[in-house]
């Protein structure tokens, strides 16, 4: 079978996520290559699809598209997983990881000749690779030890060796295409196949066994499973098995006290299955390593101090008054508490904006990295590019607030559920009116209680409310230009300024991520995904959503996709009506097909439109 290139694989994924044709010229624009190059790509794709000529369809002056059948598209996704290998790395980087994994998975010395034979390279090439490895290992406090007539060994603490292995696997999985690995987990097959990371054959066999067991367990676990956690736990479990196989435990051989663990959890069941398969006792320290990576967990009472230190030191590094922004302190503290107080410690979170932030805001990124290595941890498995980039997003938002130093009007938004159209109202207002600060969201039921608690300067609501301790502006569910003008005048009145002086200031350099070409590309892809998912959801819900709520639902789904992409999903929202569990599962599967892991709260918010439609129809029938 034809081996597809990285770009050809991406073209297939793009076609999988849309139903309408796309032209060759459009593909040329998206991938930044010539029309001729795209034609060569399409020639390879036709060859790849030749077993079923009806799947890949083309028409002059119309474009190309794939057969719109769910089973066919699922089969294509399975085939793609086997196509994506280790091509993201040039040969030298690939060899370096292979050499370190080879040394990590043996308790014997390895001679230079053995390394040459294993990787099929010359002596000079291998010596050059070994010099680079020595530099790379220093970050993890590891060393490459050489003894004449014996060979090379990897030296350092057990946690350092495992940290290097974990970091390498996570990096490779991200480049491999994290959504492909997630799709593997969702197949719930008897054997996970097609995972070709190119690290080490023996290790990858163990990892496939872990992922196979994880795939079988996912549907049986009723809790909301985070795929970042699942992937991290799976990597650590594979490392644990591999190192124990050469008698390298993380610490002691003390077995688990079953009174201290919950036996029915996903992590314990996965741990037990793998250790039973390899005939190892259930070691306490190995289980703790799988959960927290063997790292020291910061205590709650230290997080406030830690947050202040990070903000103050970054302020000095980049010469910005971040320490004056209380909102930054609150958001950063909340982020760190969530990171360090989760059940699974220091799991790697895939961050699609790492490259953009490192490239366009190197000053902020480097300052944060330096401070986090000093104040948070020197371990690269904790302080890595993803971790630092998520923190950087908080500072980028803060920088925008700092540059707009005029007093802000604190606003509370009110809608039917406290979730739906408030996001649209917020976006429309912030696009047109400066000096707005979100104090909070609330539903109609909880409006008065929340308003009394938050004490805003202004309340914006799609309902008429009375007896409030703040001025009220009632707006349409889809804000009109008159609504915007009314709010602008009210904001100006509260600030005691002329409405004409309320003009949006230009975005600061630190927030102009939109101007980056790769971000624009991501935005285009996100828009295509938004429309595709909306159509799938509407086909699923059929007549359950009344016409008057369809536009609002479309906008809600768009914003939900945006929240998922930016790791800002709703949390702990109440499920007001007991929803059909079958529909919930179907909605989750719909989003999963596009590589989006939607949580329970977001699903409940979408189903609220069904409840509103039912209520509306009941009112009409009653009349």
Q: Would you say 62 and 11 are in contact if contact means Cβ atoms under 8 Å apart?
A: no
pTM of the model: 0.53
Q: Would you say 420 and 556 are in contact if contact means Cβ atoms under 8 Å apart?
A: yes
In this structure, of 67-76, 90-99, 115-124, 546-555, the range with the lowest mean pLDDT score is 67-76
**Angle between helical axes of 422-432 and 481-495 (0-180°, round to 10):** 70
What is the C-alpha separation between 475 and 482, in angstroms, rounded? Answer: 9
pLDDT band at 419 (very low <50, low <70, confident <90, very high): very low
pLDDT of amino acid 615: 63
Which stretches within 187-244 are classed as H helix?
A: 201-218, 227-244
| Averaged pLDDT, 442-447 | 75
Long-range contacts of 289-292 (CB under 8 A, 24+ apart): 289/162, 289/236, 289/240, 289/250, 290/233, 290/236, 290/237, 290/240, 291/233, 291/267, 291/343, 291/344, 291/345, 292/344, 292/345, 292/346
Instruction: Kindly tell me if the per-residue pLDDT of 539 is higher than 50.
Output: yes
What is the C-alpha separation between 110 and 131, in angstroms, rounded? Answer: 16
SS (H, E, C) 528-544: HHHHHHHHHHHHHHHHH
> C-alpha angle with apex 230: 225 to 232, nearest 5 degrees?
140
- Run of H or E including 582: helix 581-592
| Averaged pLDDT, 144-170 | 89
* Phi, psi (deg, nearest 5) at residue 492: -60, -40
What is the C-alpha separation between 210 and 193, in angstroms, rounded? Answer: 12
Q: Would you say 176 and 197 are in contact if contact means Cβ atoms under 8 Å apart?
A: yes
| Averaged pLDDT, 457-471 | 82
pLDDT band at 514 (very low <50, low <70, confident <90, very high): very low
Using the structure block, give the residue that is written with the tokens 């600060």: 437
Instruction: Kindly tell me if the per-residue pLDDT of 477 is higher than 70.
Output: no
Instruction: Kindly tell me if the per-residue pLDDT of 17 is higher than 80.
Output: no
The string of DSSP letters for 415-460 reads ESSSSTTHHHHHHHHHHH-SSEEEEEEEESTTHHHHHHHH--SEEE
Tokens of 512: 């102009």
DSSP annotation of 323 reads G
Instruction: Kindly tell me if the per-residue pLDDT of 488 is higher than 70.
Output: yes
Question: Among candidates 42, 37, 74, which has minimal Cα distance to 56?
Answer: 42
DSSP annotation of 299 reads P
Q: How far is CA 207 from CA 202, 218, 414, in A?
A: 9, 16, 48
Burial class of residue 251 (count of CB atoms within 10 Å of its CB; 0-12, 13-18, 19+): middle
pLDDT band at 236 (very low <50, low <70, confident <90, very high): very high
**Angle between helical axes of 266-277 and 201-218 (0-180°, round to 10):** 140
Domains of the chain, residue spans: 6-82, 84-294, 300-403, 409-501, 516-622
pLDDT of amino acid 369: 92
The string of DSSP letters for 245-279 reads TTT--SS--PBP-GGGS-TTSHHHHHHHHHHHHTT
In this structure, of 419-423, 461-465, 490-494, 577-581, the range with the lowest mean pLDDT score is 419-423
pLDDT of amino acid 292: 82
Long-range contacts of 181-186 (CB under 8 A, 24+ apart): 181/211, 181/231, 182/227, 182/231, 182/592, 182/595, 182/597, 183/77, 183/78, 183/81, 183/595, 184/81, 184/211, 184/215, 185/211, 185/214, 185/215, 185/218, 185/227, 185/230, 186/215, 186/218, 186/592
What is the C-alpha separation between 602 and 597, in angstroms, rounded? Answer: 10
Burial of 394-433, coded b for 16+ CB within 10 Å and e otherwise, reads: bbbbbbebbeeeeebbbbbbbbbbbbbbbbbbbebbeebb
> C-alpha angle with apex 510: 506 to 516, nearest 5 degrees?
90
**Looking at domain 6-82, which of 1.10.10.10, 1.10.287.130, 1.10.3720.10, 3.40.120.10 is its CATH number?**
1.10.10.10
Sequence-separated (6 or more) residues with CB below 8 Å from residue 345: 291, 292, 293, 295, 297
Longest dimension (CA), the chain: 94
Using the structure block, give the residue that is written with the tokens 């930044």: 32
Tokens of 372: 């986090």
611 compared with 533, residue with greater pLDDT: 533
pLDDT band at 621 (very low <50, low <70, confident <90, very high): low
| Averaged pLDDT, 291-319 | 81
In this structure, of 55-59, 179-183, 480-484, the range with the lowest mean pLDDT score is 179-183
Q: How far is CA 362 from CA 234, 366, 389, 392, 405, in A?
A: 32, 6, 11, 10, 25
Burial class of residue 462 (count of CB atoms within 10 Å of its CB; 0-12, 13-18, 19+): buried
Establish whether domains 6-82 and 409-501 are of one fold. no
For a pLDDT cut of 90, what percent of the chain falls above it? 15
Q: Would you say 229 and 265 are in contact if contact means Cβ atoms under 8 Å apart?
A: no
Instruction: Kindly tell me if the per-residue pLDDT of 12 is higher than 50.
Output: yes
Instruction: Kindly tell me if the per-residue pLDDT of 613 is higher than 80.
Output: no
DSSP annotation of 143 reads E
For a pLDDT cut of 70, what percent of the chain falls above it? 77
Q: Which fold has domain 409-501?
A: Rossmann fold (3.40.50)
pLDDT of amino acid 219: 63
Q: Would you say 248 and 158 are in contact if contact means Cβ atoms under 8 Å apart?
A: yes
Burial class of residue 211 (count of CB atoms within 10 Å of its CB; 0-12, 13-18, 19+): buried
Q: How far is CA 398 from CA 98, 229, 404, 622, in A?
A: 42, 29, 10, 51
What is the C-alpha separation between 384 and 380, in angstroms, rounded? Answer: 5
What is the C-alpha separation between 366 and 360, in angstroms, rounded? Answer: 11
Highest mean pLDDT among 95-104, 439-448, 544-553: 95-104
Query: How remote is the C-alpha of 478 from its chain's centroid?
Result: 30
């Amino acid at each position: 079978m034809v081996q597809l290139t990285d770009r050809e694989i991406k073209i297939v994924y793009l076609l999988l996520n849309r139903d309408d044709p796309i032209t060759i010229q459009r593909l040329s624009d998206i991938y930044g290559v010539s029309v001729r190059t795209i034609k060569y790509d399409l020639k390879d794709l036709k060859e790849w699809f030749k077993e079923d000529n009806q799947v890949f369809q083309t028409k002059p002056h119309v474009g190309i598209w794939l057969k719109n059948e769910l089973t066919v598209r699922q089969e294509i996704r399975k085939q793609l997983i086997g196509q994506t290998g280790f091509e993201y790395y040039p040969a030298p980087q690939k060899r370096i990881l292979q050499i370190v994994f080879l040394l990590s998975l043996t308790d014997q010395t390895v001679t230079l000749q053995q390394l040459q034979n294993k990787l099929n390279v010359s002596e000079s090439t291998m010596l050059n690779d070994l010099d680079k490895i020595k530099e790379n290992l220093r970050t993890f406090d590891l060393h490459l030890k050489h003894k004449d007539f014996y060979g090379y060994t990897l030296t350092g603490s057990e946690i350092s060796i495992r940290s290097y292995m974990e970091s390498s696997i996570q990096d490779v999985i991200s480049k491999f295409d994290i959504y492909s690995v997630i799709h593997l987990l969702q197949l719930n097959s008897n054997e996970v196949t097609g995972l070709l990371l190119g690290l080490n054959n023996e290790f990858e066999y163990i990892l496939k066994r872990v992922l196979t067991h994880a795939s079988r367990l996912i549907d049986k676990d009723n809790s909301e499973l985070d795929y970042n956690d699942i992937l991290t736990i799976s990597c650590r479990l594979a490392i644990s098995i591999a190192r124990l196989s050469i008698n390298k435990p993380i610490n002691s051989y003390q077995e688990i006290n079953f009174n201290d663990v919950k036996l029915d959890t996903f992590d314990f069941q996965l741990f037990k299955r793998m250790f039973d398969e390899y005939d190892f006792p259930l070691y306490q320290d190995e289980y703790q390593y799988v959960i927290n990576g063997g790292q020291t967990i910061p205590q709650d009472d230290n997080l406030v101090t830690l947050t202040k230190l990070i903000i103050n030191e970054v302020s000095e590094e980049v010469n910005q008054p971040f320490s004056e922004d209380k909102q930054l302190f609150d958001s950063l503290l909340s982020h760190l508490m969530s990171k360090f107080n989760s059940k699974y410690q220091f799991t790697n979170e895939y961050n699609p904006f790492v490259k953009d932030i490192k490239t366009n805001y190197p000053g902020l990124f480097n300052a944060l990295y330096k401070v986090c290595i000093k104040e948070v941890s020197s371990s690269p498995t904790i302080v890595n590019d993803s971790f630092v980039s998520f923190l950087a997003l908080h500072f980028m938002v803060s920088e925008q607030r700092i540059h707009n130093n005029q007093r802000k009007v604190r606003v509370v938004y009110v809608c039917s559920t406290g979730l739906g159209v408030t996001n649209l109202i917020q976006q429309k207002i912030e696009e047109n009116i400066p000096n707005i600060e979100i104090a909070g969201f609330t539903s109609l039921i909880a409006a008065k209680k929340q308003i009394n608690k938050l004490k805003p300067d202004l309340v914006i609501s799609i309902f008429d409310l009375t007896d409030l301790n703040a001025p009220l502006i009632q707006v349409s569910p889809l804000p009109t230009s008159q609504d915007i003008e009314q709010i602008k005048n009210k904001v100006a009145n509260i600030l005691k300024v002329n409405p004409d002086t309320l003009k949006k200031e230009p975005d600061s350099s630190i927030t102009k991520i939109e101007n980056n070409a790769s971000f624009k590309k991501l935005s285009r892809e996100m828009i295509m995904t938004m429309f595709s998912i909306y159509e799938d959801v509407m086909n699923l819900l059929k007549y359950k959503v009344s016409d008057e709520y369809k536009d609002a639902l479309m906008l809600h789904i768009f914003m939900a996709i945006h929240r998922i992409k930016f790791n800002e999903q709703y949390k702990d929202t109440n499920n007001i009506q007991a929803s059909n569990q079958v529909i919930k599962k179907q909605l989750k599967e719909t989003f999963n097909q596009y590589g989006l892991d939607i949580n329970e709260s977001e699903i409940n918010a979408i189903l609220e439109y069904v409840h509103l439609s039912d209520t509306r129809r009941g009112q009409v029938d009653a009349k």
